[in-house]
Amino acid sequence: MDRLRQIEILIAAADDGGFASAARRLGLSPAAATRAVAALERRLGCVLLFRTTRGVTLTDAGQRYVDDCRRILSDIDSAEDAAAGEHAQPRGHLTIGAPTMMGHLVLAPIVAEYSRRFPDVSIDLRLHDRPLHLFEERIDVALMTGELPDSTLVAQLVGEVRRVLCAAPSYLAQTLPPAQPVDLAQHRIIFSAADARTPHWRFVGADDVYTLHVRPHIAVSTNQAAIALALAGAGITRVMSYQVIADIGRGDLIMLLADRLPPPVPVHLVSREGRRAPGKVKSFFEFVLAELRRHPALSSATEEVPATAPRELST
């Protein structure tokens, strides 16, 4: 088995946390995948993976090796794309990343339309509720909320989102809506661990900042569950604005304490390639950029990224 194939198997096993799922994805038997990584370790003279009955994890040496190999494989992909003419005609494989609910609610319909217009581009849409690392994970284009971690990324600001408090009319019909953040202590709170790691909600005013220690009536692990419970009238919850914009627009949920909520956070469309980007990346970036800037869930912030921030994708 050639060296590049061994590296691909190692990366797949590290990403999937085991040989069985990595082997299925690559069309190999688990035994063949295991032998390939073992052969790679013998050649390098070091252990790359810790094996346990629950799966595999990278050693420190393995992590450094995989990070370096991802960059090398990315350069190989770019070279092959250029040789195949992808810089002129969009085709090939495109990997896209986004937060889970933003991917479902905002990005997926746009991806579907892009795929219809550019049928020669195959797409891998990866949705995660964790920071994305475009270079290490070989993600071509991603949608990111908050400040960007890497100033070398090519980026365009597409909008903004914010955390909002909301409850169903059926719940608010049973009690007085909160007039101030302190009033929330008298209400039933639905707390989502996906919204915050600790049960503290921060509110801002003209002259003060107030932090509420939340005592949940119901605690859930996802914002989807929190929204479903709020729609059912179970209490007040806090989620991201784009996740409930349709519910608020229909009147199924009511926004609360809007004047005390923290400021919005930016949403960027980012890429790891600039002028050398192949046609598939440029075409997707340009198509999605226009669609996202018109999307009601991302408000009206359409200014370009300042000169000190990540660069634009060149056409």
Domain ranges, ordered by start, for the chain: 3-71, 85-148+267-298, 163-260
Report, in angstroms and rounded to the nearest whole number, the Rg of the chain calculated over CA atoms: 23
Q: Which pLDDT score, from 0 to 100, does residue 83 have?
A: 62
Strand, helix or coil at 33?
helix
For residue 146, give Cα distances in angstroms to 64, 131, 225, 264, 281.
27, 10, 23, 9, 22
Tokens of 152: 């070398």
Contacts of 272 (CB under 8 A, 6+ apart): 74, 134, 135, 139, 140, 152, 153, 154
Low-confidence ranges of the chain (pLDDT < 70): 1, 78-88, 149-152, 274-276, 300-315
Q: Which pLDDT score, from 0 to 100, does residue 145 have?
A: 87
Q: Which pLDDT score, from 0 to 100, does residue 173 have?
A: 94
What are the tens digits of pLDDT across the range 46-82?
999 998 888 889 999 999 998 888 888 877 776 666 6
Which option is the CATH number for 163-260: 3.40.190.290, 1.10.730.10, 2.40.30.10, 1.10.10.10?
Answer: 3.40.190.290
Which CATH fold would you assign to the domain 85-148+267-298?
D-Maltodextrin-Binding Protein; domain 2 (3.40.190)
* Beta-bridge partners for 95: 124
Backbone φ, ψ for residue 117 (5° rounding): -80, -30
What are the tens digits of pLDDT across the range 130-163?
777 777 778 889 998 887 766 667 888 999 999 9
Which CATH fold would you assign to the domain 3-71?
Arc Repressor Mutant, subunit A (1.10.10)
